C-alpha cells in the first residue's frame, strides 16, 4: 500500500503553531504552550494518533465547555504514600503534570506512592508521564481508562465494555541509553489506527474489530458505520467494537484498568455513568511511583540497562532483523523527527489549517 501524502513541519514551528491555536481559542499562553508541548511529545515519538491531530477536537471541546482551561487539581484525600485527586475536567496536559509531580514528591520522600487521578481531560500519550517521572530517577506504572469512551469488546463478547485503556511502565534510563518504556493500549489497535485505515492508510491487522454478529473483521465500517470519503469518522455511528489484544489476557488487563482507573479513583468506568452521561470523555489514571534508591538499588538504572542489552543480543528471528526493547522505537522516531521535521497526513494538516483560520491564527508555510 502506498504511503499517504504528508506535509512535513519542523518540530519547533509546529509546536509554536499549535500553541498559537490554543491561545487564540482562549487558553492562557502558558497553558497553550504546555498543551502543545505534550501533543508534540506524541508526534515526536511516532504516536500521531495522540498528537496534534487532536487539536481540532480539543478546540471544539473547549468551545463547548467539555474541557475547561486554567484548572488545578483538587486533593480529595491524601497521606504520605497516596493521594486521590480530581482534575475538574481541566486539560489533561495541565492536570497530568500536576498529578505526576505530586507522585514524584511523595515517592522521593517515602520510597513509593500511588496517585489516583479522576475526571481529567484527555491525558494523551501516557508515556509522557512516565518520562516525567523517569527524568527524576523514578520508576512508574500507570493504568488508564476513559469514562464515556467505550470502544472495546471483552474477550468472548461483542458489545463494547472497555475503552482502549492504556498501561504504561517507565524505567529511568542509564546515561544516554533510551529510556525503557512500555506504553500500550490494551486494544489490539488504537482507535486512531482505524481512523487511518478508513482514510486509505495502513490496513488493520486480522481480528482488530468484531461486528455485532460476532464476526471478526478488518473493515473500519464495523466501528464507524457506512463510510464515504467525506463522512466524519464517529465511533458512535458503528455497531461493532475494537478487540482487546492478547485474547483473554489483554481483555483481563483492560478490565483491571477500569477497576483501578475508573472505580478505585472514584471517577467512572467507561460503562454507564452514575447519575447519567456527562456528554464528555475524561481520563482516570491510577499511577504508582517508585524510587529505586529507597529499595537499596542505587545502581538500578545501570543494571536495567545491562539487562536490556542482554535481551537485545537475542539472535534475530529473521536475517537482518533486530530485537528492540520497549521505548526504543519511540526514541528512534524522536531523534529522526527532531532532525527532519514531523510528517503530518494531509488530512491532519488541512484540519489544523481550518481551525487556525477559524481563530485568525497565521498558518506557517
Please give the residue ranges that form the binding site for ligand NAD (CB under 6 A). Answer: 47, 50, 122-127, 144, 146, 164, 166, 168, 181-185, 190, 283, 324, 326-327, 329-330
Q: Which residues are registered as beta bridge partners of 344?
A: 7
* Closer CB to ligand NAD, 107 or 123, in the complex: 123
Query: Closest distance between ligand NAD and the C-beta of residue 361, in Å?
Result: 25
Cα–Cα nearest to 179, from 217, 208, 151, 138? 138
* Closer CB to ligand NAD, 90 or 127, in the complex: 127
Rounded Cα gap, residues 34 and 20, in angstroms: 11
Query: Closest distance between ligand NAD and the C-beta of residue 91, in Å?
Result: 12
Query: Closest distance between ligand NAD and the C-beta of residue 116, in Å?
Result: 16
3-state secondary structure 71-130: CCCEEEEEECCEEEEECCCECHHHHHHHHHHHHHHHHHHHCEEEEEEEEECCCCCCHHHH
Query: Closest distance between ligand NAD and the C-beta of residue 76, in Å?
Result: 21
* Closer CB to ligand NAD, 73 or 356, in the complex: 73
Rounded Cα gap, residues 249 and 25, in angstroms: 42
* Closer CB to ligand NAD, 83 or 151, in the complex: 151
- Three-state SS at 186: coil
Query: Closest distance between ligand NAD and the C-beta of residue 62, in Å?
Result: 17
* Closer CB to ligand NAD, 67 or 361, in the complex: 67
Q: Which residues are registered as beta bridge partners of 85?
A: 75, 117
Length of the chain: 365
Amino acid at each position: 500500500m502506498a504511503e499517504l501524502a504528508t506535509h512535513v513541519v519542523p518540530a519547533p514551528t509546529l509546536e509554536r503553531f499549535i500553541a498559537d491555536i490554543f491561545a487564540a481559542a482562549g487558553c492562557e499562553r502558558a497553558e497553550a504552550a504546555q498543551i502543545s508541548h505534550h501533543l508534540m511529545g506524541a508526534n515526536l515519538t511516532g504516536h500521531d494518533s495522540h498528537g496534534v491531530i487532536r487539536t481540532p477536537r480539543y478546540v471544539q471541546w473547549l468551545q463547548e465547555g467539555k474541557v475547561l482551561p486554567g484548572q488545578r487539581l483538587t486533593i480529595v484525600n491524601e497521606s504520605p504514600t497516596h493521594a486521590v485527586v480530581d482534575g475538574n475536567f481541566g486539560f489533561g496536559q495541565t492536570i497530568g503534570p500536576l498529578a505526576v509531580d505530586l507522585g514524584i514528591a511523595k515517592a522521593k520522600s517515602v520510597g513509593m506512592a500511588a496517585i489516583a487521578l479522576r475526571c481529567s481531560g484527555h491525558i494523551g500519550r501516557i508515556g509522557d508521564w512516565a518520562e516525567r517521572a523517569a527524568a527524576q530517577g523514578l520508576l512508574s506504572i500507570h493504568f488508564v481508562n476513559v469514562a464515556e469512551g467505550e470502544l472495546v469488546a471483552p474477550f468472548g463478547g461483542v458489545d463494547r465494555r472497555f475503552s482502549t485503556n492504556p498501561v504504561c511502565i517507565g524505567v529511568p534510563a542509564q546515561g544516554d541509553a533510551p529510556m525503557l518504556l512500555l506504553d500500550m493500549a490494551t486494544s489490539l489497535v488504537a482507535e486512531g489506527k482505524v481512523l487511518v485505515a478508513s482514510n486509505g492508510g495502513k490496513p488493520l491487522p486480522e481480528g482488530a474489530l468484531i461486528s455485532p454478529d460476532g464476526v471478526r473483521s478488518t473493515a473500519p465500517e464495523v466501528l464507524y458505520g457506512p463510510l464515504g470519503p467525506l463522512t466524519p469518522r464517529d465511533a458512535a455511528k458503528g455497531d461493532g467494537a475494537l478487540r482487546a489484544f492478547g485474547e483473554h489476557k489483554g481483555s483481563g488487563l483492560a478490565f483491571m484498568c477500569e477497576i483501578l482507573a475508573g472505580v478505585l479513583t472514584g471517577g467512572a468506568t467507561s460503562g454507564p455513568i452514575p447519575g447519567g452521561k456527562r456528554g464528555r470523555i475524561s481520563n482516570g489514571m491510577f499511577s504508582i511511583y517508585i524510587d529505586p534508591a529507597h529499595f537499596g538499588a542505587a545502581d538500578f538504572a545501570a543494571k536495567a540497562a545491562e539487562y536490556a542489552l542482554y535481551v537485545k543480543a537475542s539472535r534475530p528471528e529473521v536475517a537482518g532483523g533486530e530485537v528492540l526493547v520497549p521505548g526504543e522505537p519511540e526514541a528512534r522516531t524522536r531523534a529522526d523527527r527532531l532532525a527532519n521535521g514531523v510528517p503530518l497526513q494531509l488530512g491532519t494538516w488541512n484540519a489544523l489549517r481550518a481551525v487556525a483560520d477559524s481563530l485568525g491564527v497565521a498558518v506557517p508555510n
